Structure 1
Amino acid sequence: MHKDELIQLHTLMAQIKRYLEDQGVEHDFEDYNSLSISPVHIHRSKAEHKHAIFILGNHLASIISEDEISSVSRTSIRMQEFAERSGNGVSHSN
């Protein structure tokens, strides 16, 4: 995926996060928030956006899997694995 496509995906996922929060869904997004990266940070690297997508994807899959007994819980586990792999070499400094 190109960086602009990753930023678009990151934007969509951030909008889903915001929607869930507005609907009163309680979830601790600390892992994602601690990255200090949002889709508007276009100067950040492709790898940083990719890592943020996997972390946020893990959070969103966890929220869905709390209500569903399905393959969604496996999705959360896979997102966590991708996040860990994509985080190698990504600096988390502000």
Structure 2
Amino acid sequence: MHKDELIQLHTLLAQIKRHLETQDTDHDFSEYQSLAISPVHIHRSKAEHKHAIFVLGNHLASIMSEDELSGIGRTSARMQEFAKRTSRNVSGSNN
């Protein structure tokens, strides 16, 4: 994906996060927030946005998952795997 496409996806996931936060539910987005990156940070690298997408996507998928055997549960596991992989690339990339 191109950086602008990643930013669009990041924006969509951030909007879903904000919607969940307005529903008076208690979800802990601290891991995502600790990254200190949002879709408006267009100066940040492609790798940083990709990592944020995987971290946020993992958390959103786990919220939607009721049991580990569901399709969403498998998606959550894959997002977590991708987040771990991309975290190694974040510090060395400026794309």
Give TM-score, length-normalised by structure 2.
0.90
Partner of 2:90: 90
C-alpha distance in 2 between matches for 1:42 and 1:84: 22
Taking every aligned residue pair, what percent have the same amino acid on both sides?
A: 76
Unaligned runs of 5+ in 1: none
Superposed CA deviations along residues 36-69 of structure 1, whole A, max 9, x for unmatched, are 0000000000000000000000010010003796
Cα root mean square deviation, aligned: 1.5
The code of the aligned residue for 2:41 comes to H
Partner of 2:27: 27
Matches within 5 A, 1:70-89: 70-89=70-89
User: What is the aligned length?
Assistant: 91
1:51 aligned onto 2:51: yes
The 8 Å contact of residues 68 and 74 in structure 2, kept in 1 or not, is answered as: no
CA pair 68-84 structure 1, distance change in 2 beyond 3 A: closer
Give TM-score, length-normalised by structure 1.
0.90
CA pair 40-90 structure 1, distance change in 2 beyond 3 A: same
The code of the aligned residue for 2:59 comes to H
Unaligned runs of 5+ in 2: none
C-alpha distance in 1 between matches for 2:23 and 2:68: 18
The code of the aligned residue for 1:61 comes to A
C-alpha distance in 2 between matches for 1:27 and 1:69: 22
